[in-house]
Amino acid sequence: MDTVRDISVSAVPTSGDILKPKQLHAALLRAKGTSVERTCREIGIVTKTWYRWLQLPAFREAIDCYKEEWVQQYENAFTNLLPKVVNRHSQLLDSKTEAIQMRAVDSCHQHYSRNIREQEVKSEVQELKEMVRILCEQLAQQRAAG
């Protein structure tokens, strides 16, 4: 089975600031979902240092970049598994046992409904982001006008 490979520490573009290896490692751990406390313990820093690093744009960018890379790798791995999933699901739908058929139908319906809702939420989030952007621009214009 394909699995998501480890993310390369060197793959992170930064906004001009150069991060130390320990900071990149911390960003990588956090992007993978490790708690702040555990990340600090693993790399040997106190949480106060973590929150100081979090003030650095390059550090926040590194976390975001690692998250995006991890999500992309996960999506690619999942996409590669889809033909197997579809084939197996077809086999279950053709089962001689009605209970198995019904569970396969229910599973399809649940996943389809969840996917539709996720798309709706993504669309709503994009609309809200655009509204916030417009409001920020209007606020900046009002401040500039005095």
Helix, strand, coil tally for the chain in percent (to 5): 80, 0, 20
> Tokens in use for 65?
């970049």
**Domain range summary for the chain, segments of one domain joined by +:** 1-80
Would you tell me the crossing angle of helices 98-145 and 57-93 to the nearest 10 degrees?
150
Mean pLDDT for all residues in the chain: 87
pLDDT digits (tens, 9 = 90+) for 86-120: 889 889 999 999 999 999 889 888 988 998 999 99
What distance in Å separates the CA atoms of residue 45 and residue 50, rounded to the nearest whole number?
A: 7
What distance in Å separates the CA atoms of residue 26 and residue 21, rounded to the nearest whole number?
A: 9
- Stated pTM of the model: 0.52
pLDDT digits (tens, 9 = 90+) for 30-71: 998 999 999 999 999 999 999 999 999 999 999 999 999 988
For residue 18, the SS3 value is coil
Task: Give the confidence band of 74 by pLDDT, cuts at 50, 70, 90.
Answer: confident
